[in-house]
Structure 1
Amino acid sequence: MESRLSSRVRNITPSATVSMDAKTKAYMREGQPVINMSVGEPDFDTPVAVAFAGMQAIADGYTRYTPAAGSLDLRRAVARKLMTENQLSYAPEQIVLSSGAKHSLYYVFLCLCDPGDEVIFPAPYWVSYPEQIRLAGAVPVIVSCDERTGFKMTPDQLEAAITPKTKAVLLNSPSNPTGAVYSEEELRALGEVLLRHDVYLVTDEIYERLVYGVEHKSLPALVPELLSRSIVVNGFSKAFAMTGWRLGYVAAPPDIAKALTSLQSHASGSPSTISQHAALVAFDSFDPAMVHEFERRRDTLVAGLDALPGITCVLPDGAFYAFPNVSGLFGKTFHGSGPHSGKVLETADEVCEALLESEWVSTVPGGAFGSPQNIRLSYAVSYEEVEEALERIGRFVKSLK
């Protein structure tokens, strides 16, 4: 037997963010003073009303299966939310709840894609997009973007990437890892391109509430002609600090929603009943103070990074990540402590490793996001940790000669 594993899983690249978080937590268990800026998880507690709703669900015996697409009450609530907040008209029957937005996205690609189909998305991108697309048998078509366009795909780039094999275009706004937010004008321009081609639009809006001085817009609301082939993915993890509750949702055309439900019924059944009951009160429990605190941390972190020699950082408009370009550090020799001392740093991976092992600041190299010149830092840590991290990064940069 040549291999005990299928080619499908042999070719998967492990999630860099999950891997770095695991490595970081191992150091923390050893007692090392690590500041963990690698993980995309709010450091706030789940709102009290949401937590109590979950506990009440358990006490009231809501611990059995719901329908595969999720409870009708929550699907109705999601449909109301999409109409009132996003100006998107979806019936409850077009909503499918899953165990997290990551889960939702994977099912979407499985339902849409046949082998050889192409899915277009811009880089930098969330680490799981290409792997999920490949697992569905499709081909990731990556459009490279950088600081010159604010890490956003232009209409000309999108037009050039579309081929007869294109099945879908995937957008993530606000973006992980860059925090880029497409403006209304930019979205309309992309929509005009999509109107000329018979392809699906998948829009990942998980960070929609975490924006700073700008407004989140959903492309199919701006170009309603696209609604019949638009799939909106969202969830409760980021805005409501419910990462461990594992609950996301898809809003899709009726035939796709039906296919998603059928697939989920065989693959995982329904999402957690307890989480669904808790989520019923989440939409009324959002705390804008979380956004203000993230913005305060963002401003301090980006200004501090941008002031360091060899580092430049675009101010993100959303999410809770900074994505500095560290290519100005490449070719310099690290003279700090740890196993990398005396080593010439040639890549963002080596920068991240040396920074972690010398100053105990955990970040993620940008190659995992399709941008090898950058690194990602999450400011979903306390303000005091942001300040301390900047001091440590400053010492690290100073040690490079």
Structure 2
Amino acid sequence: MKHLVERFLRYVTFDTQSNPHEMACPSSKGQRVFAEFLKKEMIELGLSQVTLSDNGYLMAKLPSNVDYAVPAIGFIAHMDTAPDASGKDVNPQFIEDYQGGDIALGLGEEVLSPVQYPDLHELHGHNLITTDGTTLLGADNKAGIAEILSAVAMLIENPEIPHGDICIGFTPDEEIGRGADLFDVEKFGAQWAYTVDGGPQGELEYENFNAASADVIFHGVSVHPGTAKGKLVNAMNLAAKFQVQMPQDQTPETTEGYEGFFHLKSGELGVAYSELGYIIRDFDREGLESRKAFMQKLVDEMNADLKHGSVELKLSDSYYNMREMVEPYPHIIDLAKCAMEQCDVAPIIKPIRGGTDGARLSFMGLPCPNIFTGGYNFHGIHEFISVEMMEKSVQVIVKIAELTAHKYR
């Protein structure tokens, strides 16, 4: 454990923000730099079969230390940070023995407040790592990397703990939905795996949104406004008309739990051409199809009313709910639950209101639920993590490896 925080603080110094506008993989040079650093560390740690692909996928193995057959299991995390906030020049703050109240972030006016984030009320006595209010922290998902490697180090230093082959995978570009695109499941070699990419202590997730993206394109007719009567079709007005017809009670800020949503995430506005970018989420596959059909119906109705100009809809599925691929293997979840309980962690089984590499990997033949890191408020300047929860994550990873070896003895 003594190296856990050191690892994490070292890792967040790397700027690994992924770039959705770059088609290369990895999408940013910083991810490659970080991967090379991790490769060297993993070799020094004593791992075998350490490989880094041309596309930035880093894999390694801790060989079994028992003389009987145990299924190889994996632990996976991603190296990139989200494009939503800067990940450059991260300057972490260490808050020792937090006792409540606002936490000043850096020297500005930005604070981390329990009024805005009530979870802080449950963390009195914890040692917290926060941002300085100018960048994200990078706990998503460098905490997962630090926890996996610290767990591996613990297994190496304590050979009396039995375990089978432990496969380790660190991926690029998860935050822009491409983390599993070039992941070589066969090379990885695990029968099942766990992404270490969750939030607060106890989270155990094996179901996530079905996801799609929708681009609604509005083709207007540009005419000089002085002679525009009966001729001009303003694409921005078409976009506004479309958006006001979208369900206002089915947005991220109005939904929770198993409720799906439409999320307007981007826009390009102009008289002749406008475009609105949406993401669509639903835990039920039929619900996702219904949402896509609803948007198509709006587009068709608008086109029917237009004499000039047009509206176009481009839909693309992103990932599906891993539940259907994980539920046939209940022992994967049972092992994680039992490991948490033996580490005095109460399992919190809940759906992911998002997606992970694990969702895609589950459909690629590698069942892959998600476990906690101890982090909060990912993707923004209020991101923070509990050191005590990080330590619990390490313990759970070690215990999963140990219980798997016991199960197959």
Alignment TM-score > 0.5, same fold: no
Q: TM-score range by the shorter chain?
A: under 0.3
Q: Which has the higher strand share?
A: 2
Q: TM-score, normalised by structure 2?
A: 0.26
